[in-house]
Structure 1
Amino acid sequence: MATRYSPCVSERQTPSRNLPFLWLLSDARNDAGLEDALTALPPGSGFVFRHYHLDPKQRRRRFDHLVEIAGKNDHLVILARASWAEVAAWGADGTYAAPGCELGQRLATGWLLTTAHDEQELAAAATCGADGIFLSPVFPTRSHPDGEALGPERFLALANASTTPVIALGGMTRERAKALPWLRWSAIDGLSSR
């Protein structure tokens, strides 16, 4: 039986913009299954294209291929570590960056997603006008097995205090998402085909 955590789902999980509830993040380790994973996501989900392991030309080719699949499924596509000029040139919907990054002139319709691990980073993300914050790690992760996880209670305390919509990240799976009373969540391995 799955563990249930409290408190209940926060009203802050529903912003004025339609920020997706489910997010897939790309990585070298889930690259081979991304086509299937993108197709399996519910329509209107989110996809953060990272692929830091590829050289610039390979990265652009891989993005162009995956964005076509994402588009067919009405997914929001976010380009990681990208300036607003790159977001526009690549045809992405927004950027994923560290809070406070200098990205250039913001696109009027572009999404700004950031990452945070504590109260200070959550505040920095809100200050820079983030539309959503990936708060991590909720649980221990394969990429950082010895890193300290927030745990469900700490995650919920931070997420409920945030004035910006929060997306749970780190060790998330469908089973953990069902047990954690938080609507927005994301994964690398947890949503990828094996």
Structure 2
Amino acid sequence: MDARLIAWARGVKRRRPRAGGRASLPPLWFFTDETRLADPLPVIRRLPAGLCGVLFRHDSHPARERLAQAVARLCRTRRLPLIIAGDARLAAALGAGLHLRGGAAPAHRVAWRGPLSASAHDHGQLARARRAGVALVFISPVFPTASHPGAPSLGARGWRCLAARGGRIKPYALGGITGRRVSALGKACAGIGAIDAFL
């Protein structure tokens, strides 16, 4: 686990006020990735409580719902917020938050609990996320990533430009984030999402 990133997250959490007596959203989010980590449970067991949440993305896993239930149980035990990517029905069944890919509205109108997040790669997706009323948006990819080798990235300046257009949405960074790189994003960065940083 990236010790510099953990130290950065503790600093963010100290500066962030509690909303109405409730704990704010964590600054660190572990993104599950079935290609690079088929079983995310060992990593989730090691995540620092109070600093981390989990965003479940195992879309093509053969036992997806069973694994999602196991992840949800572990997150409840460890008091880690859980968000399900792109599946409002599963999010509702697990009492989890929902992640909108590209800010697109969910296909099914069901009541889920937990935070509403989105991903955004450009101004159009960010505008959709804003209209959807998300609490946080993962703007990506900031830096080159192992999962998308050779793909173009925003860079720190491009990320800051998009983040400034988010209005009240908390801007999070995703893509190639490390403890060394995160400081380049400035104080506007409310948190990050990552895979490798937690492995």
Q: TM-score range by the shorter chain?
A: 0.7 to 0.9
Matches within 5 A, 1:33-182: 34-44=40-50, 45-55=52-62, 58-83=63-88, 85-89=89-93, 91-98=94-101, 99-105=103-109, 107=111, 109-163=113-167, 164-181=169-186, 182=189
- Find out whether 1:22 has 2:28 as its counterpart: yes
Question: TM-score normalized by structure 1?
Answer: 0.80
Contact 1:30 1:189 in 2 (8 A): no
Please give the alpha-carbon distance, in whole angstroms, between the structure 1 residues aligned to 2:48 and 2:87. 26
1:15 is displaced (CA, Å) by 9.1
Please give the alpha-carbon distance, in whole angstroms, between the structure 1 residues aligned to 2:130 and 2:110. 15
The one-letter amino acid of 1:102's match is: P
The one-letter amino acid of 1:42's match is: P
Alignment gaps of 5+ in structure 1: 3-8
1:35 is displaced (CA, Å) by 2.7
Q: Look up the SS of the partner of 1:122 in the other structure.
A: helix
Q: How many aligned positions are there?
A: 178
RCO comparison, higher one (Cα < 8 Å, 6+)? 1
Question: TM-score normalized by structure 2?
Answer: 0.78
Q: Deviations over 1:38-83 (max 9, x none)?
A: 122221321011112313xx01121122222222221111111212
Percentage of matched positions with identical amino acids: 31
1:179 is displaced (CA, Å) by 4.7
